[in-house]
Amino acid sequence: MHFTLQPGGNLKGEARVPGDKSISHRAIMLGALAEGTSRVNGFLEGEDALATLAAFRAMGVQIEGPVDGCVTVHGVGLHGLRAPDQPLDLGNAGTGMRLLCGLLAGQPFDTELTGDASLCSRPMGRVIEPLTRMGARIESAAGGRPPLAIRGGQRLRGIHYDLPMASAQVKSCCLLAGLYSEGETSVTEPAPTRDHTERMLRGFGYPVQSVNGEISLQGGGSLVACDIEVPADISSATFFLVGASIAPGSDLLLSHVGINPTRIGVINILQLMGADISLQNQREVGGEPVADIRVRYAPLHGVEIPADQVPLAIDEFPALFIAAACAQGRTVLHGAEELRVKESDRIAAMAAGLTTLGVRNTVLDDGIVIEGGPMGAGTIHTYNDHRIAMSFAIAALRAEGEITVRDCGHVATSFPGFDVLARRLGLRISAVAD
Ligand code: S3P
């Protein structure tokens, strides 16, 4: 599937984007490990979260749905999973694989984890390392890549782990293994990362301490089923936050968006660039802060992206690079080397597409420099990365000619129905089967 986009237009109206991907993965995992039945509303029916759901079904967990975002998970307790008959295929989902590594390391049975070509090229050494120190036995393909074989029946010990990179997936993996470990498991991170695992564990009645940047829990407890309300994903809302900010005449209201402080770097950075974004009706739903976000067109200017915002906006940089291309002046990003190991090398993939559209940019090892200016037309390659596809789709709002975005099938991993919703709001997009 590819997108074709006619240039111009703006974004108007109201919308609720699909549920948060990070929270949807965790809702299935913790619901499955809890005692009792958990109901999840607003679940993301995207391929990534569905792959996690299928993995737990394959381990004997009864799960009903999803139907209109509702999922009922009949938890089996921390020690109730069964050995799957086949390798668990996590598709494109790094979160699914890395978090599962942590909890599978503590099971009495062996498992194999695999995924698509993108996932099988992503580094897993970052979770194998701390898990091995905890006593896990994990074999990987060359270079710490999937597929992974996790040997069950190991006795895990709690450790303290000082994360070498700001990664919520590695942090969460250690904490989930900690549920099965003797004594205390604790982590410190070089910068705060999304804290959905900690919040949701507490929601399931499992004590987690966060003191002076150290997050810790004791093994050997249990989770009590609870109901979960998944907010709309700020990472999906981002495409419309940027789209409305760059297209004159735009005025959008995005409802029920998760605004967890560890996720709002995109709002902070856009506001620094001059965007007109306001948060309305702020409230807390199921332990996560939520708001309706109003965004109207405003002229943007280039900025030096503050280092402390980088981990808080890590998934939003592809779209932010489009904002930078439409801003007056230069935008500079450093400290974002993690972008090179996402679903694609997002620095290289975005730089290539921006160059195709005539936007001057300089690639850095850990970031990019983008000079704002006119955007032309052309054919963009996504490297099968959903966020690259959606970023260049919204770029059409300010392009001078038609944009074709090739290989857009992976958009369904995080944002099923993106083209339909974007068209309703005003993007001149068509999805074409190849
Ligand atoms: C995620 C953490 C981030 C993010 C990913 C989802 C999570 O990855 O990029 O999309 O749900 O924990 P890292 O932990 O690798 O930074």
Q: What is the DSSP string of 150-187?
A: EE-SPPEE--EEE-SS--HHHHHHHHHHHTTEESEEEE
- The rounded Å distance from CA 168 to ligand 1 centre is 6
- The rounded Å distance from CA 318 to ligand 1 centre is 15
Catalytic residue among 48, 89, 292, 315: 315
Going by alpha carbons, the residue nearest to atom 4 of ligand 1 is 315
Average pLDDT over residues 208-215: 96
Given ligand 1 and candidates 21, 22, 176, 263, which is best to mutate, with the most ligand atoms within 8 Å of its CB? 22
Average pLDDT over residues 294-322: 98
Average pLDDT over residues 34-56: 98
Please determine, for residue 17, whether its predicted confidence score (pLDDT) is greater than 90.
Answer: yes
Q: Kindly report the average pLDDT of the chain as a whole number.
A: 98
Going by alpha carbons, the residue nearest to atom 9 of ligand 1 is 315
- The rounded Å distance from CA 434 to ligand 1 centre is 30
Average pLDDT over residues 100-105: 98
Please determine, for residue 1, whether its predicted confidence score (pLDDT) is greater than 90.
Answer: yes
Radius of gyration of the chain measured on its C-alpha atoms: 21
Please determine, for residue 398, whether its predicted confidence score (pLDDT) is greater than 90.
Answer: yes
- The rounded Å distance from CA 94 to ligand 1 centre is 7
- The rounded Å distance from CA 214 to ligand 1 centre is 19
Average pLDDT over residues 45-67: 98
Average pLDDT over residues 236-241: 99
Given ligand 1 and candidates 169, 195, 346, which is best to mutate, with the most ligand atoms within 8 Å of its CB? 169
* Calpha distance 96→91 (Å, rounded): 9
Given ligand 1 and candidates 24, 25, 28, 95, which is best to mutate, with the most ligand atoms within 8 Å of its CB? 95
Predicted local distance difference test score (pLDDT) of residue 303: 98
Atom of ligand 1 nearest to the CA of 235: 10
Given ligand 1 and candidates 90, 194, 197, which is best to mutate, with the most ligand atoms within 8 Å of its CB? 194
The runs of H, that is alpha helices, within 69-152 are 94-104, 125-133
Average pLDDT over residues 110-128: 98
315: annotated active-site residue? yes
Predicted local distance difference test score (pLDDT) of residue 56: 98
| Residue 71: its H or E element | strand 70-76
Atom of ligand 1 nearest to the CA of 99: 12
Please, what are the domains in the chain? Answer: 2-19+232-432 (3.65.10.10), 21-229 (3.65.10.10)
Please determine, for residue 286, whether its predicted confidence score (pLDDT) is greater than 90.
Answer: no
Q: What is the DSSP string of 265-316?
A: HHHHHHHHTT-EEEEEEEEEETTEEEEEEEEE----B--BPPGGGTGGGGGG
**Torsion of Cα atoms, 379 then 317 then 167 then 307, to 10°:** 140
pLDDT digits (tens, 9 = 90+) for 261-282: 999 999 999 999 999 999 999 9
- The rounded Å distance from CA 296 to ligand 1 centre is 29
Q: Percent of the chain having pLDDT more than 90?
A: 100
- The rounded Å distance from CA 311 to ligand 1 centre is 9
- The rounded Å distance from CA 45 to ligand 1 centre is 18
Predicted local distance difference test score (pLDDT) of residue 222: 98
CA distances from 289 to 233, 239, 257, 258, 308 (A): 12, 20, 9, 6, 20
pLDDT digits (tens, 9 = 90+) for 174-198: 999 999 999 999 999 999 999 999 9
Is-contact 226 203, C-beta < 8 A? yes
Going by alpha carbons, the residue nearest to atom 10 of ligand 1 is 315
* Calpha distance 358→399 (Å, rounded): 10
Atom of ligand 1 nearest to the CA of 26: 11
Atom of ligand 1 nearest to the CA of 170: 14
Is-contact 197 23, C-beta < 8 A? no
Going by alpha carbons, the residue nearest to atom 13 of ligand 1 is 167
Q: What type of residue is 67?
A: V
Ligand 1 pocket, CB under 6 A: 22, 95, 167-169, 172, 194, 314-315, 338
Q: What is the pTM of this model?
A: 0.98
Atom of ligand 1 nearest to the CA of 315: 9
* Calpha distance 416→45 (Å, rounded): 7
Please determine, for residue 362, whether its predicted confidence score (pLDDT) is greater than 90.
Answer: yes
